[in-house]
Amino acid sequence: MPDVVVWVTKPSDKDVPGLEAVGQEVRNLNHLSEAEASVTGSAIHVSFEGGKAEQEEVEQVIQEAGYEIFKVSH
């Protein structure tokens, strides 16, 4: 089961939801077993079933919320 940490930046010029809310949106994806949002670290830790397509889906949810992804760690 892949385990990734998605590091994000919150654009200062956009009104975006809190990182906890984005973590909840990620948790709503069917293939996820775990998603935790760490506000202090600006990261969302995600465990999921699948591969690259599922990881891209996670990243898409984060980007659609208005956040910019600057790093994905495996």
Output the pTM of the full model. 0.84
User: Any idea where the domains of the chain sit in the sequence?
Assistant: 3-73
Cβ neighbors of 22 (< 8 A, separation 6 or more) are 8, 16, 37, 44, 61, 62, 65, 67
- pLDDT of 66: 94
Nearest to 68 by CA among 13, 3, 4: 13
Q: What's the CATH class of domain 3-73?
A: alpha beta
- pLDDT of 59: 94
- pLDDT of 40: 57
Residue ranges in the chain whose pLDDT is less than 50: none
